[in-house]
Amino acid sequence: MRRVLLFVLPLLLTGCSKGLDSGNCPLFLSFAEDFALQWADLQTKGGGSLELPDTNDFILVISELDGGKELFRDQYRNKPPHIALQEGSYMLSVYSCDFESPGFDTPQFGDEQQVLLTSEGLSVRFECTQLNSGLRCTFDESFRTQFASSEIELVQGEEDLKYPYDETRIAYFDSGKVSIVLSTGESRRQLLSRTLEPNEILTINFSVDLSSSAEADYHIAVDTGRVWIKEEYIYGKERDGSVKSRALMVDDLPDMIGSEGVWVCGYIVGGDLSSTSAVYKPPFESQTHVLISDRPSAASRDGCASVELKSGSIRGDLNLVEHPELLGQKVYLKGNIVESYFGLVGIKSLSEYSFN
């Protein structure tokens, strides 16, 4: 990869170079030096089948923030040698490829920054993290044998992608909900769905429950710049919340609204909720509720669930005002799933909890 320090301006796109040299506010662009390290990390855990893209092939877009008028859209190598814009606010974007539908081996790296340009000029460094999400499936022999005549499909919105049992590559999707569907002839059954965040790679291993002692496993490993999540899905031992070992995940809750006395597991990530906001770091002020997520590092309400803590021993044990050390801890909760509590799917009427 070439690390290019660029001094952008006019352009090769018809009608796009006008205005890039009409001001007196210089703009300088460059890529972060650790981009090659980020890609090497993806290669190591992603199977090593991808080639490092040349940053000169990235797509560069410069737009006015007000109105969204594009001043430049072309490969990074075709940027002008100098940019001098009018004072104002701009959106600067780079991305390694267009990503319009789910596909294999198509990680999209890039960055997007809003900047305020003044007469003093500005230098911008693009960090180039992964913008889309990855999903990889592995299948034990027990699953392959029992469902030899079936197929796995990964579905997001109106798009679907077949995932053969012998596939080893990562499938990439826009961030958001992805459903895993088992297709047998005319019959289609959704096994599970997961909400993926940008920069996440989720690996799910599928097997069949061959013993009553089989227990689902879920853990998260965070490493340099990318979140790799591993999960075990055991057919015949699906998460239904009936017992703690089959505890629902937060992503499961929208499909379980109205269920009573079910177990849910998640990480305590915040509190002090309103209908639109939450607090993710101490100190906390409210003892009446907490926020949980499937990810211990969650820092937004997306993909979270609210948990009511009624007065009593459970509130005394779980509230973040008295126990800020619980932040990031995994907890199992037994209660009722409600459609909305502080604007999120909620858990109310807790009767039990456990940390293991």
Mean pLDDT of 156-168: 95
Same domain? For 110 and 139 the reply is no
pLDDT exceeds cutoff 50 at 50: yes
Let me know if residue 243 belongs to a domain: no
What is the residue whose two structure tokens read 């499936």?
Answer: 137
Same domain? For 69 and 166 the reply is no
Let me know if residue 244 belongs to a domain: no
User: Is the peptide bond preceding residue 283 cis, with omega within 30 degrees of 0?
Assistant: yes
Residue 264: predicted pLDDT? 96
Between 281 and 129, residue with greater pLDDT: 281
pLDDT exceeds cutoff 60 at 83: yes
- Encode 253-292: b = buried (16+ Cβ within 10 Å), e = exposed: beeeeebeebbbbbbbbbbbbeeeebbbeeebeebebbbb
Q: Which of 165, 189, 164 is nearest to 179 (CA)?
A: 189
**DSSP labels, 57-126:** GSEEEEEETTT--EEEEEEGGGS-S--EEPSEEEEEEEESS---S-EET---EEEEEEEEE-TT-EEEEE
CATH of the domain at 158: 2.60.40
Count of domains for the chain: 3
Same domain? For 34 and 76 the reply is yes
Q: What are the pLDDT digits (tens) for 60-77? A: 999 999 888 899 999 998
Last residue of a domain, one of 238, 267, 292: 238
Let me know if residue 245 belongs to a domain: no
Q: What tokens were used for 326?
A: 């619980």
Last residue of a domain, one of 130, 149, 183: 130
Q: What are the pLDDT digits (tens) for 89-144? A: 999 999 988 899 999 988 898 899 999 999 999 999 888 788 899 999 999 999 99
Q: What are the pLDDT digits (tens) for 310-347? A: 999 999 999 999 999 999 999 999 999 999 999 999 99
Please check whether residue 200 is in contact with residue 188, taking contact to mean a CB–CB distance below 8 angstroms: no
Same domain? For 97 and 177 the reply is no
Please check whether residue 99 is in contact with residue 35, taking contact to mean a CB–CB distance below 8 angstroms: no
Q: How confident is the model at residue 44 (pLDDT cuts 50, 70, 90)?
A: low
Same domain? For 75 and 173 the reply is no
Same domain? For 119 and 69 the reply is yes
Reported as type and span, the H/E element at residue 188 is strand 187-196
Same domain? For 84 and 146 the reply is no
CATH of the domain at 332: 2.40.50
* Total-model pTM: 0.65
Helix (H, G, I), strand (E, B) or coil at 158: coil
Same domain? For 36 and 92 the reply is yes
User: Which domain covers residue 147, as residue numbers?
Assistant: 133-238
Please check whether residue 228 is in contact with residue 197, taking contact to mean a CB–CB distance below 8 angstroms: no
Same domain? For 149 and 231 the reply is yes
Same domain? For 147 and 221 the reply is yes
